[in-house]
Amino acid sequence: MTVAVLALQGAFIEHEQILSRLGVHCVELRKSEDLNQPYDGLILPGGESTVQGKLLKELGMFDRLKKQINEGLPVLGTCAGMILLAKETENDDRSYFQSLPVVVKRNAYGRQLGSFYTKGEVKGIGTVPMTFIRAPYVSRVGKDVEILSKVEEHIVAVQYRNQLAFSFHPELDEDLSIHRFFLQMLKNS
């Protein structure tokens, strides 16, 4: 099994480290030719969605990745990765893959609460550490989107078919259960 990690900007190395701890082979997607190799799943890391989205388009990776996701490639998006997947961002005109039928709010926790840590329950996974860094949350969900977790009334994790998205950064904590859950999705797909 091979997992591709979008490696243009942001916290991609941390995802790679978790995959290697789980004994999973991973490849980095840095340029358009990298999309020619086979992989069974995709991770979109946290960082800056605007920078990642711009680079994806400039490097000629955007349309092909969008097609792969829409055709069912299992994908895990964390933080900025959630924004890249979302159909719409309520406080920003830009949108990207639009494959996940949710509306997100960018930098939703404001300045003071820009970064915080908590623990919370994720449906089907259990209690996990949650590190939020200038995180988005989901303000509306479309049909067939399953809400996996809420923190203080706000939706912070969702699943829709082949797509899993988290507001927080599972790759920055020691817990491996979210990545394990994603790998199980790959095995089942």
Q: With respect to ligand GLN, which residue has the nearer C-beta, 133 or 184?
A: 133
d(CA 35, CA 54): 17
DSSP state of 183: H
CA distance between the termini of the chain: 12
**Shortest approach of ligand GLN to residue 48 CB, angstroms?**
5
Q: Which of 14, 16, 26, 79 is catalytic?
A: 79
Select 28 or 48, whichever has its Cβ closest to ligand GLN: 48
Residue 71 bears catalytic tag: no
Within 10 angstroms of residue 66's Cβ, the number of other Cβ atoms is 17
- Confirm whether 26 is a catalytic residue: no
What span, in angstroms and rounded, lies between the C-alpha atoms of 88 and 99? 10
Min dist CB 187 to ligand GLN, Å, is: 27
Least distance between ligand GLN and beta carbon 176 (Å): 20
- Which of the following is catalytic: 14, 16, 169, 179? 169
Q: Which residues bind ligand GLN (CB under 6 A)?
A: 46-49, 79-80, 83, 106-107, 133-134
CB 102 within 8 A of CB 145: yes
Tokens found for residue 21:
């701890």
Between 23 and 110, CB nearer to ligand GLN: 110
Q: How far is the CB of 33 from ligand GLN (least distance, A)?
A: 26
Active-site residue identified among 15, 16, 26, 171? 171
Helix H segments across the chain? 12-21, 49-58, 62-70, 80-85, 177-188
- Considering beta carbons, is residue 39 or 96 the nearer one to ligand GLN? 96
Whole-number CA gyration radius for the chain: 15
Catalytic residue positions, numbered? 79, 169, 171
